[in-house]
A and B are shown apart, each in its own frame.
Chain A
Amino acid sequence: MKNVLEDIIEPPVDRKIANRNMNDRVQDIPGWGMDADPDNDPTYPMKHSTGADHERLNYVKAPQQRQNIEVLRSIERPNITRVFGTSTPPAGLSGAIRRYAYKFSEATATHWMTLILADRVDVIQGKLNDLKHGIFPNPWIERGWRAEWKHNRPAFLGRMAVTTLVITAGILLITRKSRGKKMLANS
């Protein structure tokens, strides 16, 4: 396996980052920190700087939530968070696709676009799962057609008519083509 720079980074040291090499810098770099102005913080007022940014490792953490399900984790962090959501763990083919997506960082298209692909596969999985449990699609409720009927009836009926026409035309076209092929084969 190819060696990459990430692998040779030493584990983080539990100390204030602000203290790292500070004394050296003060001595070695003329003027270091002279013009620093704590009030010149463009993130204020959203952020009240307390210096906590430089205490990244030793903050008080909540107890770890027990992990009874599979939780996917961004590779941009070392572990799962102390608390996590337990809704809809990865499952089936979509789950396998998601696991693949989480091998890539959040900076990559592969990560996000693969997740979108997994979402679409999940929809099909969901339909099959519904059928397995005797639940049939109910667009009247699930797609909110009831609301369209109530508040947008003319446009809704128009769209339904166009959709029906397109589907009928498609079916007719396919049937005619297959009939034509059969006739050619018989002649």
Chain B
Amino acid sequence: MLAMNFRGPYQIRPDRNRPMPEIEHPYDAIVRVTRSLVCGSDLHLYHGLVPDTRVGMTFGHEFTGIVEEIGSGVQNLEVGDHVLVPFNIACGTCPFCKQELYGNCHEANSEATAVGGFFGYAHTGGGYDGGQAEYVRVPYADVSPIKIPEGMDIEDAVLLTDVVPTGYQAAEQAGIQKGDTVVVFGAGPIGIMAARCAWFFGAGRVIIIDHIDYRLEFAKKYSYCEAYNFKEMNDPVVFVKKLTDWYGADVCIDAVGCEAVGHGLQDITGRMLLQAGSGTALHWAVNSLKKGGILSIIGVYGPPWNLAPIGSIMNKGITVRANQASVKRLLPKLIDHVMSGRLNPKGIISHRIPLEEVSDAYRMFSKKLDNIIKPLLIPPRAFAA
């Protein structure tokens, strides 16, 4: 079958000779992928920043597909069902899953206890091949995957596997109160979605900060927010303080993670792996907050360590809230938002690219070519019988 094949940092290959996945557990399903996306966090793998990313892996944790085969223990799915598959692999019965922390399942990742099980996210994410392929093995198929609701566009469905829930949870865990000023750092797909979702919680003002103009322009329209380029500022923290009557934002959302730019020391130490990527967005977010404000971290950082302003967090009484999105928990609410027309996920897809050109998609996304916001991959057999 055709699948993306990682060959090293900045090197991937569309490979037609990948072996077909097989049922390896009674709760497995094999899914024929109909759509998959390249995520901003896939770029951390592509750039060689995530430990235990092995040559030969297939990435991709955002996908929809048609069930082709099920294991003997699968009861909720049938062959032929068209499903959306949340990026979390979750058993549904461990203490974490039982408390709806599906992104923190205890029975899906042997290789790192700090990280849940994710499709196509290195061995740090459990060593599962992902959905940038024609077929994929889906473990615990009864737990997370759900049939795409009748009448839902497949492109909306695929965005419900990660981008929408992650952006929504960024806003939800920020504890936004009516009238709050919310500052989102990073105008990538997640930051754009977080800014959009902040309104659902009653934000009074939403501001997004980035350094790429075309993304800021897009965010302004898609997320109904104010958008500013930090390259036009002396100091983003002073800018935010001034913008909030020298008080600070009620809520800051870090939707950038470990590849932030904008601070020389952080950039250098991040690139040299002296820390797990740059902590610039964390610094700006903590310092832009009011005293007693809330920091929501949804940007991805590597596991070892980062230079973070813990003294300011303590002295200002900042509450830090962070986690991988719990997609299954959020799906009912988000499906309602989409089906009722309040949310238009597919509006952020900017490029539709054949899976055969997956390496081009990564390069374009990594280098921000052709005003790319979110690339969608279409496998050749997406709609074959």
Residues of B within 8 A of A113 (CB): 51, 273, 304
Does the CB pair B53–A119 fall under 8 Å?
yes
Q: Which of A1-55 contact B (CB under 8 A)?
A: 42, 45-50, 52-53, 55
Tell me if B's interface is mostly helix, strand, loop or mixed: loop
Q: Is B177 an interface residue (CB 8 A)?
A: no
Does the CB pair B8–A152 fall under 8 Å?
no
Does the CB pair B98–A52 fall under 8 Å?
yes
Q: Is B271 an interface residue (CB 8 A)?
A: no
Does the CB pair B25–A65 fall under 8 Å?
yes
Does the CB pair B48–A87 fall under 8 Å?
no
Q: Is B229 an interface residue (CB 8 A)?
A: no
Instruction: Return A108 CB to nearest CB of chain B, in Å.
Output: 9
Bound Cα distance from A1 to B284, whole angstroms: 48
Q: How large is the interface on A (under 10, 10 to 19, 20 to 34, 35 or more residues)?
A: 35 or more
Q: Which residue of B lies closest to A114 (CB)?
A: B51
Does the CB pair B58–A87 fall under 8 Å?
yes
Bound Cα distance from A122 to B48, whole angstroms: 12
Q: Is B363 an interface residue (CB 8 A)?
A: yes
Counted as pairs of residues, one from A and one from B, with CB atoms less than 8 Å apart, the total is: 206
Q: Is B67 an interface residue (CB 8 A)?
A: no
Given A142-B12, A146-B360, A147-B369: A88 touches B112 (CB 8 Å cut-off): no
Q: Which of B254-277 contact A (CB under 8 A)?
A: 273
Does the CB pair B56–A61 fall under 8 Å?
no
Given A144-B364, A148-B369: A106 touches B114 (CB 8 Å cut-off): yes
Q: Is B287 an interface residue (CB 8 A)?
A: no
Could you list 12 examples of A-B contacts with CB < 8 Å?
A52-B98, A59-B98, A61-B107, A65-B24, A71-B127, A83-B140, A86-B128, A87-B54, A113-B51, A118-B52, A123-B7, A152-B367
Instruction: Return A32 CB to nearest CB of chain B, in Å.
Output: 24
Does the CB pair A141–B94 fall under 8 Å?
no
Q: Which residues of B contact A (CB under 8 A)?
A: 7-14, 24-27, 48, 51-58, 73, 89, 91, 93-96, 98-101, 106-114, 117, 123-124, 126-129, 139-140, 169, 172-173, 273, 302-305, 319, 321, 323, 326, 329, 357, 359-364, 366-367, 369-370
- Of the candidates A42, A73, A87, A146, which one forms a contact with B57 in the assembled complex, judged by CB atoms under 8 Å apart? A87
Q: Which residue of A lies closest to B366 (CB)?
A: A144
Instruction: Return A29 CB to nearest CB of chain B, in Å.
Output: 26
Of residues A45, A84, A109, A112, which shows the largest number of chain B Cβ atoms within 10 Å of its Cβ?
A84
Q: Is A126 an interface residue (CB 8 A)?
A: yes
Of residues B11, B273, B319, B367, which shows the largest number of chain A Cβ atoms within 10 Å of its Cβ?
B11
Residues of B within 8 A of A88 (CB): 54-57, 123, 127
Given A66-B24, A106-B303, A113-B304: A144 touches B128 (CB 8 Å cut-off): no
Bound Cα distance from A42 to B370, whole angstroms: 42
Residues of B within 8 A of A160 (CB): none
Given A81-B108, A94-B54, 19 extra CB contacts under 8 A:
A46-B101, A46-B326, A59-B98, A61-B107, A77-B110, A83-B139, A87-B58, A88-B123, A109-B305, A112-B303, A112-B304, A115-B124, A122-B54, A127-B7, A139-B11, A142-B359, A147-B357, A147-B369, A148-B369
Does the CB pair B129–A85 fall under 8 Å?
yes
Instruction: Return B294 CB to nearest CB of chain A, in Å.
Output: 10
Q: Is A158 an interface residue (CB 8 A)?
A: no
Q: Is A165 an interface residue (CB 8 A)?
A: no
- Please list the 7 inter-chain residue pairs (A to B) with the smallest Cβ-Cβ separation, ordered nearest first: A144-B363, A85-B127, A85-B128, A123-B8, A126-B55, A147-B360, A115-B51
Residues of A within 8 A of B12 (CB): 142
Q: Which residue of B lies closest to A135 (CB)?
A: B13
Does the CB pair A84–B110 fall under 8 Å?
yes
Bound Cα distance from A83 to B363, whole angstroms: 33
Q: Is A162 an interface residue (CB 8 A)?
A: no
Instruction: Return A3 CB to nearest CB of chain B, in Å.
Output: 25
- Of the candidates A42, A52, A102, A144, which one forms a contact with B359 in the assembled complex, judged by CB atoms under 8 Å apart? A144
- Of the candidates A73, A139, A144, which one forms a contact with B110 in the assembled complex, judged by CB atoms under 8 Å apart? A73
Does the CB pair B51–A119 fall under 8 Å?
yes
Bound Cα distance from A125 to B8, whole angstroms: 10
Residues of A within 8 A of B364 (CB): 144, 147, 151
Does the CB pair B93–A87 fall under 8 Å?
no
Q: Which of A76-108 contact B (CB under 8 A)?
A: 76-77, 79-88, 90, 94, 98, 101-102, 106
Q: Is A157 an interface residue (CB 8 A)?
A: no
